[in-house]
Amino acid sequence: MISVPRWLLMALAAMFSGYHVVLGASSLSTDVAASPWPIIVALVLYAVATVLSLWPARRARMPDWLAALDLAVGIVLPVLVTSQLDPSRDNGYATWYVAAVGTLMTIAAARRQLVVAWAGVIVLAVQTVLWAGPLALGQLGVIGSLVWVAIAHMLSAALASAARATRRYAQAEREAAAWQAAQDAHLFEGRMRLAQTQRLAAPMLRRIADASHALSDAERAECRTLEAAIRDEIRGRMLLTDAVRAAVRHARDRGATVTLLDEGGIDELDEAERDRILSELADVVETTRAERIIARTAAEGSPVAVTVVGLSGGNGETVESEDAEVELWLEIPRGG
């Protein structure tokens, strides 16, 4: 991609604008103008408007007050200069104001004041027709000024479209990078949990696969405990720490049924906050005597991080049992 320094463009515009001032000043030495003072006033107004329009600014778009000033100068310049000229004569460089107004309006168009730019050159064209007739549009260069504003309009529109496309592509790239990072995280988490599951289940699976070994009642109970632990690794996700695993295993060893459900409600928490919440969860699971314990993460955005429910009585298997009584209801909040 080839880029042009902004200062170079501004320097070229300043040189081009200064050329019109030189032409206007040189026309004062001729006897074309009836009086030089209106032309001098026009030169000063044009120079001030050009300097303000080309002055370095952070925003590419020209301020509205400056655009209004440029439009006013573009309207006043033709009136001041032509009031001292004879439309029936060859005025030579005395018609410098035509190119000057065109340049000033081109600068306004380049700085995204398109309405002002078109208004300025249209007023110039109308004034020229009223002053010298339709043929003067080509003779004095008004058509050239219209063309320059049109080119600046198209370039400005193209650059704005390119800037919008660049922002869309950058946003799409960020979203793609975030998606790839999420996929990598899911893959890493899956591999980690698979390794954890293998570490838990491999010894028992080898004993089950051994045809010469008959499982004892204690080993069958251990199988059920391992099956529940593996289910925790799948459904518990971020709810699991070494302390939570130990507390859950202790609760199951005493005969309690424990269910861990992580639905993504604490994924966005930082590590310190998550450790605080899970430490409290481990303490609750360790100390409660409920027969059925359910820990579930709350919805994202909720002031509650984890809800813990403990039930006792009934058949110990279903939450809907009419005989079950709520022994524990705890909501662990976010933010301490």
Q: How does pLDDT run across 253-271, given as a tens digit for each residue? A: 888 888 898 888 887 888 8
Residue 231 reports pLDDT greater than 70: yes
| Residue 313 backbone class (left: φ over 0; alpha: ψ -120 to 50; beta: rest) | left
Bridging pattern class, strands 292-297 and 304-313:
antiparallel
Residue 315 reports pLDDT greater than 60: no
Write the pLDDT tens digit of every residue in 183-202. Answer: 887 788 777 767 777 776 77
The pLDDT of residue 316? 44
Looking at residue 260, the DSSP 8-state letter turns out to be E
Average pLDDT, stretch 52-68?
A: 87
The pLDDT of residue 50? 92
Q: Of 240, 295, 242, 300, nearest to 266 (Cα)? A: 300
> Computed from CA positions of residues 30, 35, 41, 42, in that sequence, does the dihedral angle turn out positive or negative?
negative
Which residues pair with residue 257 across a beta bridge? 292
Average pLDDT, stretch 44-72?
A: 90
Average pLDDT, stretch 248-253?
A: 87
Q: Is residue 295 within 8 Å of 239, Cβ to Cβ?
A: yes
Residue 331 reports pLDDT greater than 70: yes
Write the pLDDT tens digit of every residue in 92-133. Answer: 888 899 999 999 999 999 888 999 999 999 999 999 999 988
The pLDDT of residue 98? 92
Write the pLDDT tens digit of every residue in 140-150. Answer: 989 999 999 99
Q: What does the alpha-carbon distance between residue 221 and residue 223 come to, in Å, rounded to a whole number?
A: 5
Residue 1 reports pLDDT greater than 50: no
Residue 255 has a CB neighbour count (10 Å cut-off) of 8
Write the pLDDT tens digit of every residue in 82-95. Answer: 999 988 888 888 88
The pLDDT of residue 88? 84
Distances (CA, A) of 311 to 236, 240, 279: 19, 21, 21
The pLDDT of residue 111? 87
Q: What does the alpha-carbon distance between residue 259 and residue 120 come to, in Å, rounded to a whole number?
A: 75
The pLDDT of residue 2? 44
* pTM of this structure: 0.54
Residue 318 reports pLDDT greater than 60: no
Confidence of residue 44 (pLDDT cuts 50, 70, 90): very high
The pLDDT of residue 317? 47
Q: In degrees rounded to 5, what are phi and psi of residue 287?
A: -95, -25
pLDDT exceeding 90 applies to what percent of the chain? Answer: 30
Q: Is residue 306 within 8 Å of 273, Cβ to Cβ?
A: no
Mean pLDDT computed over every residue of the chain = 84
Highest mean pLDDT among 55-64, 135-144, 158-167, 316-325: 135-144
